[in-house]
A and B are shown apart, each in its own frame.
Chain A
Amino acid sequence: MQFFLEVLLGGLLTGIMYSMVALGFVLIYKASGVFNFAQGAMVFFAALTAVGLHDLGLSLWLAIPLTMLVMIVLAMAIEKIVLRPLVNQPEITLFMVTIGLTFFIEGLAQAIWGASVRKLEMGIDDVPLEYLLDTLGIAISQFDLVAAGIAFVLVAGLAMFFSKTKVGRALRAVADDHQAALSIGIPLQQIWVIVWGVAGFVALVAGLLWGARNGVQFALTFVALKALPVLILGGFTSVPGAIVGGLIIGASEKIAEVYLGPYVGGGIEGWFPYVLALLFLLARPEGLFGEKIIRRI
């Protein structure tokens, strides 16, 4: 039982990381109707830039804001070069364009910082929390708990931002209909820069947390791909969906790996989330929290 709890909690905490990446997808999808495949690449790019700057001798407290600045510049460039010419294009075109963007950003990151694995020290040890180990006998990493706390703050902040501010309202209007939003005077371009910037920020946080755990390397982009099944479960437009979906995916893949893996040769973590999501889609195409789509003709 203790072992099961450990696996479950470990999975849930990994799931929080997936949620963080998924959150970036949801933000952009909500605000611009773009399914941003490049979110994973942005996570990689942000983490690599922060670590790269840190390795050049900057303190982490300077490197992180500087990276944020870079992410904003990136958001502006994406808006100007990629999104603006594609206003009102079919969603699938926008999706494919972000696949191109993915390759570009990944290439750019490695062209600047090189392709080697970099270590990131955040000053939080990845060791089991002694208190829990002593009282309950469950090993839960201190680092994971901190990560979970940061994720919680981030989500709460974003939820506030979306529902309470004027910009948030404009974002939702834009998500509904580009042209209609333009026609009532919402500055579409500005909104996009803001939302891609915010997504860049989320990517940075996610990248730092992942990077501190596993090292900053190209494999980060594959981890980020796991956000896709998370989104399928949670629905593309739902922030709570991204969180719950992430937790489900994280927990289920760990449990599957530990209890099912040995019978089939292991390594099922790699595909389990996708197959789970696929089966889920067959039963409920709009996700857990997504709105039901009524097709009209």
Chain B
Amino acid sequence: MAQRQSGDVILDLQKISLHFGGVKALTDISFDVREHEIRAIIGPNGAGKSSMLNVINGVYHPQEGTIVFRGKPRHEMDTYQAAKAGIARTFQNIALFKGMSVLDNIMTGRNLKIRSNFLLDAIYWGPAQREEIEHRRKVEEIIDFLEIQHIRKTPVGRLPYGFQKRVELGRALAAEPSILLLDEPMAGMNVEEKQDMCRFILDVNDQFGTTIVLIEHDMGVVMDISDRVVVLDYGKKIGDGTPDEIRNNQDVINAYLGVAH
């Protein structure tokens, strides 16, 4: 597949360690993410992939290490800062707002761009309405992009799994993020749904220039769409490189296929 144009390092994780009580989730992990690339994190179950994403967007605070985001080093992120800085994500187990419609769910993604406050909201007519409409326009673009026009008013709880995943992607996109973290966007999908999702991910990357960090178990997909891959195993990094390099990395092969000790 054609090599995309990758830019400078936008996110650099240095020697990240995270533990819960005595359980070590991540040990001394370093890797970087370049602008506009698709960066995959792979590894067996329990390797610490999701924990890694949680560190990046501030849900977990690592005990050691430095996160350099756009040249600014920090010890840890906090969720609000991360969102404000343009890091959006989707979750492994869908984390949509079940009681709200598709439209409202995606509108929540715009919240940081909405300047109205509760008093203006209460009066509604005037600034609040103008803003609602302005952001609605953007949200409708995302709805078109994800091809979910027909369900925009449906409560998300009633949607099938594949659509829920799409809506969650839509919510993340609504924030117009500079980095998009995707936690197993294709888990539990059939082939067609996976193809759709791949198409959306590649399009997002292409059209909006969004940097993507993605966790995925489907090796075919990972090797196809990602520019560089990090491999984690038992909370340690065991490989880092282009898909071709990873394919031939002995440690990775051992981790996946097992090795006779």
- A–B direct contact (CB < 8 Å): yes
CA A294 to CA B18, docked complex, whole Å: 15
B-facing residues in A261-297 (Cβ within 8 Å): 294, 297
Contacting residues, chain B, for A294 (C-beta < 8 A)? 20
Residue of B nearest to A292 (CB): B21
Contact yes or no, B20 A297, CB < 8 A: no
CA A297 to CA B92, docked complex, whole Å: 8
- A89: min CB distance to chain B, Å: 14
A-facing residues in B78-136 (Cβ within 8 Å): 91-93, 95
B59 interface residue per 8 A CB criterion: yes
Contacting residues, chain A, for B92 (C-beta < 8 A)? 297
B17 interface residue per 8 A CB criterion: no
Contacting residues, chain A, for B54 (C-beta < 8 A)? 297
Contacting residues, chain A, for B93 (C-beta < 8 A)? 297
Where chain B touches its partner, the secondary structure class is loop
- A90: min CB distance to chain B, Å: 11
CA A294 to CA B91, docked complex, whole Å: 18
- Number of A-B pairs, beta carbon distance below 8 Å: 7
CA A294 to CA B23, docked complex, whole Å: 13
**Number of residues on chain B facing chain A (CB within 8 A):** 7
CA A297 to CA B59, docked complex, whole Å: 9
- A255: min CB distance to chain B, Å: 37
CA A297 to CA B95, docked complex, whole Å: 9
- A292: min CB distance to chain B, Å: 9
CA A297 to CA B96, docked complex, whole Å: 12
CA A294 to CA B59, docked complex, whole Å: 12
Contacting residues, chain B, for A297 (C-beta < 8 A)? 54, 59, 91-93, 95
Contacting residues, chain A, for B59 (C-beta < 8 A)? 297
Residue of B nearest to A294 (CB): B20
Residue of B nearest to A295 (CB): B59
CA A109 to CA B92, docked complex, whole Å: 50
- B55: min CB distance to chain A, Å: 13
CA A296 to CA B93, docked complex, whole Å: 11
CA A294 to CA B25, docked complex, whole Å: 14
Contacting residues, chain A, for B95 (C-beta < 8 A)? 297
Contacting residues, chain A, for B20 (C-beta < 8 A)? 294
A-facing residues in B223-253 (Cβ within 8 Å): none
A-facing residues in B16-58 (Cβ within 8 Å): 20, 54
CA A297 to CA B60, docked complex, whole Å: 10
Residue of A nearest to B91 (CB): A297
- A93: min CB distance to chain B, Å: 14
CA A294 to CA B51, docked complex, whole Å: 14
CA A234 to CA B91, docked complex, whole Å: 35
- A214: min CB distance to chain B, Å: 45
Residue of A nearest to B54 (CB): A297
- A261: min CB distance to chain B, Å: 41
CA A294 to CA B92, docked complex, whole Å: 18
Residue of A nearest to B93 (CB): A297
CB 8 Å contact bits of B50-73 with A (1 = contact, 0 = none): 000010000100000000000000
CA A183 to CA B91, docked complex, whole Å: 28
CA A127 to CA B92, docked complex, whole Å: 65
CA A297 to CA B20, docked complex, whole Å: 14
Residue of A nearest to B50 (CB): A297
- B61: min CB distance to chain A, Å: 13
Contacting residues, chain A, for B91 (C-beta < 8 A)? 297
- B241: min CB distance to chain A, Å: 29
- A281: min CB distance to chain B, Å: 23
B-facing residues in A162-189 (Cβ within 8 Å): none
Residue of A nearest to B51 (CB): A296
- B63: min CB distance to chain A, Å: 15
CA A50 to CA B20, docked complex, whole Å: 52
- A294: min CB distance to chain B, Å: 7
The interface of chain A, by Cβ under 8 A from chain B, is 294, 297
7 A-B pairs closest in CB distance: A297-B91, A297-B59, A294-B20, A297-B95, A297-B54, A297-B93, A297-B92
